[in-house]
Structure 1
Amino acid sequence: MASKPGFLTDWPWTFLGPYKYVVLAPFAIKATYSYMTKGEGERDLTEFLILPFLIWRMVHDQIWISFSRYRTAQGANRIVDKSIEFDQVDRERNWDDQIIFNGLLFYVIHTYIKQARHLPLWRTDGVILTALLHVGPVEFLYYWLHRVLHHHFLYSRYHSHHHSSIVTEPITSVTHPFGEHIAYFALFATPILTTICTRTASLLSIFIYITYIDFMNNMGHCNFEHIPKWLFSVFPPLKYIMYTPSFHSLHHTQFRTNYSLFMPFYDYVYGTMDQSSDSLHEKSLVRKEESPDVVHLTHLTTPNSIYYLRLGFAYLAAEPHKSKWYLWLMSPITLWSMAITLIYGRTFIVERNLFKRLKLQTWAVPKYTIQYYTQWQRESINKMIEDTILEAEEKGVKVLSLGLLNQDEGLNGNGELFLTKHPKLKVKLVDGSSLAVAIVINSIPKGTTQVLLRGHLNKVSYSIALALCQDGVEVITLREDEYKKLKSSFNSNAADKLGLSQKNLPKVWLIGDGLSDDDQLKALKGTIFVPFSQFPPKKARKDCVYHNTPSMLAPKHFENVDSCENWLPRRVMSAQRIAGILHAMEGWSERECGNTMLDVEKMWQASLEHGFRPLTVSTMLSEQKYINT
């Protein structure tokens, strides 16, 4: 919001929330019905194409969003080094409102202006007139409108909302209050309405002009430079008629310079050109891709998880994974992406972060969870993980943490496979088991004397059970085979605290993979479920408390956090991801793979010293309240 929100700040359909597209429905239905029922000579293609054109604009914007986020995560040619946080994502969430607004006005223009109906496909004179009107009146009037919006009265009530984003993304370009968009539409509609009234308009002239505006808006608000210097050397006058991302970024960092729309000409004429525009352009172009200190290697989970990636839909990435009914409408794209993962063989950068002096990146294996459980895919997945480790080694990465199933015992022995094949690796592989154990143990309520251990036994569960037994907490299992496995691996003192029982179950359950709904129904009301698994259990009980998978709340100095890690709440990081950071911060030489476990207490204390905090039940409940609203 602006610092002092003015009249017409909110969009008229804000109260509709995610159902706001319904305002277009009557017009779109009428246009479609009319086109389908009328005869060949009466059909109006102009009205019928409005909805497909709006959809194209959304797709066009989303392509820029994903491309920009991918490039800024790499670091090459980045312009501004400041962070993007959740408040910016929330502020820019309604970027599609201006497309809805434009669509309504297109339908209104078509209804009330006869010349706007049955437009031809192409008219050269209309294209020329549109270009001349944009270069002349539109660019000139925008420059002065923009300067007026920086007057303290209008700036505090309207334009400050846009300038709240110091680090711009493509969708920053259309993040304005409703009243401001009315002024912009009136300005940008000048060439369109003029050509309509002079009967020189055509479908392609309008399509090309609006797509040009969207393209330039998105391109200029990217936080990386991609306009080559040689372009201005070959044709020097181009610098007066075409702006660059670095040119416009100075307007967001300096505020009182570079007011022009797409043509810097008027900034030169009126003396508002920032003197560092050329040098920043050149500096950004030569900036190299960053080599991170720590890499967290994750992978895709559910088929719809591609939309929750930071490279996907920004507002979905900013909340924990949750099933959305409308994502099923994206099924063709989802299936296409799954087909691509069968042949694509390289990890990709998802995001970058900063933690004090450390440069962090998250890389993702382009494979879904279900593929990790498919026998014929396992060899290719391990090969992909191995290639990623070697790439990290080549880039000088200090620590690589294996997230989710990338460290699965059945897949690669908790990463031991890669150390066996490459014993001289300098990059430290970490599976986060020790910190996961510490988090689970410290999630158990104080004074607990008895816990139930359920789910498939693994490296983490053995360590948890041993630590609890040594501390005098009785660990109970329901199955005799699990009881025998645990007892055979413990010393006599610890084994004495193991129990086998089907009755009088405790109200604290430590749960791993393989816990069914029927198993959960056996729990008493108010039971606390504490997972030690990589994936969260299905919540079959509404009268019980479910903790998150082993994770902690990140400190404020963990920067550039604007997306959630899978199903975890905002600014909550998995034990595996945190463990990699701790290894690099502390400079530990040990690897944590295979059966190796580090000092659990040392890991816990290190996490607290570096600002990570346990995730309390109240934090989880407040986050759930935010998601529900």
Structure 2
Amino acid sequence: MASKPGILTEWPWTRLGSFKYVVLAPWAIHSTYSYLVKDTTQRDLSNFLIFPMLLSRVLHNQIWISVSRYRTAKGNNRIVDKSIEFEQVDRETNWDDQIILSGLLFYLASMYLENGSHLPLWRTDAVIWTILLHTAVIHPFAEHIAYFALFSIPMLSTVFMKNISIISMAGYLTYIDLMNNMGHCNFEHIPKWLFSTFPPLKYLMYTPSYHSLHHTQFRTNYSLFMPFYDYVYGTMDKSSDSLYENSLTRKEEVPDVVHLTHLTTPESIYHLRIGFAHLASEPHKSKWYLWLMWPVTLWSMMVTWIYGRTFTAERNVFKHLKLQTWAIPKYNIQYYMKWQTESINRMIEGAILAASDKGVKVLSLGLLNQEEGLNSSGELFLRKHPQLKVKLVDGSSLAVAIVLNSIPKTSQVVLRGKLSKIACSIALALCQGGVKVYTMREDEHKKLKAMVSNEAGHNLILSQYGTPKIWLVGDGLSEDEQKKAPKGTLFIPFSKFPPKKDRKDCLYNSTPAMLTPKHLENVDSCENWLPRRVMSAWRIAGILHAMEEWNMHECGNMMFGIEKIWKASLENGFRPLTTSVDPKPN
């Protein structure tokens, strides 16, 4: 890449960001208005259909991106094992800019080119000439301007020949998108019988594995879409056939560690790695334009509700370990519906048994999949399957360790929120360490008092007003309770979900998580609301159990050694998150 990019490096509308599609708005509005108000004999259907055609191209490309990411995460028929990182996602966020450019060119052609408007719906000679003219196009030698110049030859030629039609133009663009996406999808899916039935087809249509060699070997397989010219000029890679056959027979990858998570909000489907790559590469935040997609969101909710089953959402590599993230197609709200409990547990159990049958070493339960009220932090599955081969991990010990090690030096803290297994362990460790723990509710105070020894019990204090500036908070923290905190309070969550930030004069830590080391590969998406290359404690715990070969479960009432797992996390390259400002010790 050039150190000083030229004037044609950036797209003209780059600075518009998410609003870049407004450059098409005047043309689309004018086209629609003209079609609606003009007489039937004067309406230009071809001009009117330009914008819907552009939308169909966006949808077509997005489907290929999602399918490609899903298939490469599973591993079957994968061609190249090269990792994708955030840098690549950032470079490719403008993948739809070429669609915007094509839209502008189509509108200009419709307006200024003779025979470029009022196109008929179908002409047989237009289709034939488009196919014949396309065979002269080889791999583009420059960037998008040259790319469009080359691939516009069949369309411009039929315009000047006065036989272009709507179908020939739309069909040609769909074909270009189909072949371009197929060549870069990184999984082989063209069946062998197709070439056996019609042998000449191997010269007329490339395969994903064929084109992948152009990107890995660089000096072979130049032809785009049609290998014919590579055969003619002797530039076909000798390994093309063997790579094709090996990719076709490649089996689904068996991971060492599986992290089992679930969908959170209706919009979260777009933030998955198999959703919108740009959204997945950023912490989960609601976007205004996703509201415009509510019909698609509603449809996806109905599909997951009725036909949903666990799917592979992500693939990573940690040293010698193969990692996968599986997702239960259920939303947060469903986990709090009692009538959904059996269905959710059945899906979790199915995922656990599937992992065990495949030979997975460790399965970590993420988010609400380990909810105590749902399955007793996974203990339900151990009772049903005592001989389970895969080790279940809820990550509680590492979550406790992270919270304890993120507390600035202090003599007192406030503990507020649902008294989970993690909360009780944190309170016990602090009281035994001589730190005074303030609770704000009598029932919570009594429960904790019964857990600690008499010697440490004097460090538990019941108080309606929390004067300490360190608050350890979990689920159930209310806005009124946050108001009781002094100015400058540091809120440290021990819950799986972040608390609502109601105080602008206070600081909020992340939910228990750590920075990942560089040897965690193929990381191009954020885990829910966490920043880039930050991983939740519950997910890290599964990796550590596999790395250290701890042949034991950690779920139900079981807790792993807090110091031991904290030390293991640091030795394996994970690092604590730091807050911007630490409050003054009390």
Mark yes or no: TM-score above 0.5.
yes
- Per the TM alignment, residue 265 of structure 1 is displaced from its structure 2 partner at its CA by 1.2
Tell me which amino acid in the other structure corresponds to 2:98.
Q
Alpha-carbon distance in structure 2 between the residues aligned to 1:452 and 1:192: 70
Tell me which amino acid in the other structure corresponds to 1:119.
L
Alpha-carbon distance in structure 2 between the residues aligned to 1:371 and 1:104: 45
Q: Does 1:533 align with 2:501?
A: no
Alpha-carbon distance in structure 2 between the residues aligned to 1:555 and 1:571: 8
- Per the TM alignment, residue 19 of structure 1 is displaced from its structure 2 partner at its CA by 1.0
Q: 1:254 to 1:6 in 2, by over 3 A?
A: farther
- Per the TM alignment, residue 31 of structure 1 is displaced from its structure 2 partner at its CA by 0.5
Query: In the alignment, which residue of structure 1 is the partner of 2:49?
Result: 49
Q: Does 1:491 align with 2:478?
A: no
Q: 1:190 to 1:345 in 2, by over 3 A?
A: closer
Give the secondary structure class of the aligned counterpart of 2:177. helix
Q: Does 1:596 align with 2:558?
A: yes
Give the secondary structure class of the aligned counterpart of 1:534. coil
Contact 2:440 2:466 in 1 (8 A): no
Alpha-carbon distance in structure 2 between the residues aligned to 1:261 and 1:503: 70
Deviations 1:286-314 (A, max 9, x none): 11001111100000001100000001000
Aligned residues: 582
Structure 2, unaligned stretches of length 5 or more?
Answer: none
Alpha-carbon distance in structure 2 between the residues aligned to 1:212 and 1:561: 32
Query: In the alignment, which residue of structure 2 is the partner of 1:125?
Result: 125
Query: In the alignment, which residue of structure 2 is the partner of 1:170?
Result: none
Give the secondary structure class of the aligned counterpart of 1:423. coil
Of residues 167, 176, 183, the one that matches 1:220 is: 183
Q: How does 1:160-199 map to 2 (within 5 A)?
A: 180-199=143-162
Give the secondary structure class of the aligned counterpart of 1:107. helix
Alpha-carbon distance in structure 2 between the residues aligned to 1:41 and 1:602: 80
Alpha-carbon distance in structure 2 between the residues aligned to 1:5 and 1:240: 38
Deviations 1:394-453 (A, max 9, x none): 1011110000000000000000111111111011000000000000000101x2111000
Alpha-carbon distance in structure 1 between the residues aligned to 2:581 and 2:59: 36
Give the secondary structure class of the aligned counterpart of 2:267. helix
- Per the TM alignment, residue 4 of structure 1 is displaced from its structure 2 partner at its CA by 5.6
Alpha-carbon distance in structure 1 between the residues aligned to 2:496 and 2:475: 8
Q: Does 1:462 align with 2:398?
A: no
Length-normalised TM-score, structure 1: 0.91
Q: Does 1:256 align with 2:219?
A: yes
Query: In the alignment, which residue of structure 2 is the partner of 1:204?
Result: 167
Contact 1:352 1:361 in 2 (8 A): yes
Of residues 316, 331, 336, the one that matches 2:299 is: 336
Query: In the alignment, which residue of structure 2 is the partner of 1:164?
Result: none
Give the secondary structure class of the aligned counterpart of 2:316. strand
Q: How does 1:366-405 map to 2 (within 5 A)?
A: 366-405=329-368
Contact 1:437 1:600 in 2 (8 A): yes
Structure with greater helix percent: 1
Tell me which amino acid in the other structure corresponds to 1:496.
H
Give the secondary structure class of the aligned counterpart of 1:132. helix
Of residues 576, 580, 585, the one that matches 1:614 is: 576
Q: How does 1:291-440 map to 2 (within 5 A)?
A: 291-440=254-403
Deviations 1:40-96 (A, max 9, x none): 111111111111000000000000000000000010011111110000000000001
Tell me which amino acid in the other structure corresponds to 1:410.
G
What is the aligned-residue RMSD (CA, Å)?
1.3
Contact 2:430 2:436 in 1 (8 A): yes
Alpha-carbon distance in structure 1 between the residues aligned to 2:49 and 2:152: 18
Query: In the alignment, which residue of structure 2 is the partner of 1:605?
Result: 567
Contact 1:344 1:366 in 2 (8 A): no
Contact 2:466 2:484 in 1 (8 A): no
Of residues 437, 440, 444, the one that matches 1:475 is: 437
- Per the TM alignment, residue 504 of structure 1 is displaced from its structure 2 partner at its CA by 5.6
- Per the TM alignment, residue 345 of structure 1 is displaced from its structure 2 partner at its CA by 4.3
Alpha-carbon distance in structure 1 between the residues aligned to 2:581 and 2:12: 33
Alpha-carbon distance in structure 1 between the residues aligned to 2:298 and 2:527: 23
Alpha-carbon distance in structure 2 between the residues aligned to 1:242 and 1:494: 75
- Per the TM alignment, residue 608 of structure 1 is displaced from its structure 2 partner at its CA by 0.4
Deviations 1:497-535 (A, max 9, x none): 111123461111000001112211221111111000011
Give the secondary structure class of the aligned counterpart of 2:553. coil
Alpha-carbon distance in structure 2 between the residues aligned to 1:618 and 1:607: 22
Q: Does 1:276 align with 2:231?
A: no
**Which stretch of the first structure deviates more once superposed, 562-571 or 231-240?**
231-240
Alpha-carbon distance in structure 2 between the residues aligned to 1:504 and 1:551: 26
Q: Which runs of 4+ in 1 moved over 3 A?
A: 1-4
- Per the TM alignment, residue 231 of structure 1 is displaced from its structure 2 partner at its CA by 2.1
- Per the TM alignment, residue 114 of structure 1 is displaced from its structure 2 partner at its CA by 3.3
Give the secondary structure class of the aligned counterpart of 2:261. strand
Query: In the alignment, which residue of structure 1 is the partner of 2:73?
Result: 73
Q: Does 1:236 align with 2:199?
A: yes
- Per the TM alignment, residue 346 of structure 1 is displaced from its structure 2 partner at its CA by 1.8
Query: In the alignment, which residue of structure 1 is the partner of 2:478?
Result: 516
Q: 1:323 to 1:394 in 2, by over 3 A?
A: same
Tell me which amino acid in the other structure corresponds to 1:365.
I
Q: Does 1:442 align with 2:405?
A: yes
- Per the TM alignment, residue 388 of structure 1 is displaced from its structure 2 partner at its CA by 0.8
Alpha-carbon distance in structure 1 between the residues aligned to 2:273 and 2:580: 26
Query: In the alignment, which residue of structure 1 is the partner of 2:504?
Result: 542
Deviations 1:456-475 (A, max 9, x none): 11100000000011111111
- Per the TM alignment, residue 234 of structure 1 is displaced from its structure 2 partner at its CA by 2.4
Deviations 1:82-137 (A, max 9, x none): 110000000000001000000000000000013111111100001000000001x3
Give the secondary structure class of the aligned counterpart of 1:41. helix
Tell me which amino acid in the other structure corresponds to 1:293.
D
Alpha-carbon distance in structure 1 between the residues aligned to 2:390 and 2:497: 26
Structure 1, unaligned stretches of length 5 or more?
Answer: 150-179, 621-629
Give the secondary structure class of the aligned counterpart of 1:289. coil
- Per the TM alignment, residue 536 of structure 1 is displaced from its structure 2 partner at its CA by 0.6
Query: In the alignment, which residue of structure 1 is the partner of 2:527?
Result: 565
Q: Does 1:574 align with 2:536?
A: yes
Tell me which amino acid in the other structure corresponds to 1:603.
I
Alpha-carbon distance in structure 1 between the residues aligned to 2:466 and 2:124: 84
Query: In the alignment, which residue of structure 2 is the partner of 1:8?
Result: 8
- Per the TM alignment, residue 3 of structure 1 is displaced from its structure 2 partner at its CA by 5.7
Q: Does 1:114 align with 2:114?
A: yes
Alpha-carbon distance in structure 1 between the residues aligned to 2:539 and 2:501: 24
Alpha-carbon distance in structure 2 between the residues aligned to 1:470 and 1:567: 33
Contact 1:345 1:384 in 2 (8 A): no
Alpha-carbon distance in structure 1 between the residues aligned to 2:352 and 2:281: 28
Tell me which amino acid in the other structure corresponds to 2:235.
T
Alpha-carbon distance in structure 2 between the residues aligned to 1:333 and 1:616: 39
Length-normalised TM-score, structure 2: 0.98
**Which stretch of the first structure deviates more once superposed, 13-22 or 367-376?**
13-22
Alpha-carbon distance in structure 1 between the residues aligned to 2:41 and 2:258: 62
Q: 1:507 to 1:314 in 2, by over 3 A?
A: same
Alpha-carbon distance in structure 1 between the residues aligned to 2:441 and 2:387: 42
Contact 2:319 2:519 in 1 (8 A): yes
Q: Does 1:93 align with 2:128?
A: no
Contact 2:403 2:512 in 1 (8 A): yes
Alpha-carbon distance in structure 2 between the residues aligned to 1:224 and 1:429: 31
Tell me which amino acid in the other structure corresponds to 1:66.
S
Q: 1:306 to 1:402 in 2, by over 3 A?
A: same
Q: Identity of aligned pairs, percent?
A: 72
Deviations 1:595-629 (A, max 9, x none): 11111000100000000110112499xxxxxxxxx
Tell me which amino acid in the other structure corresponds to 1:538.
K
Q: 1:535 to 1:333 in 2, by over 3 A?
A: same
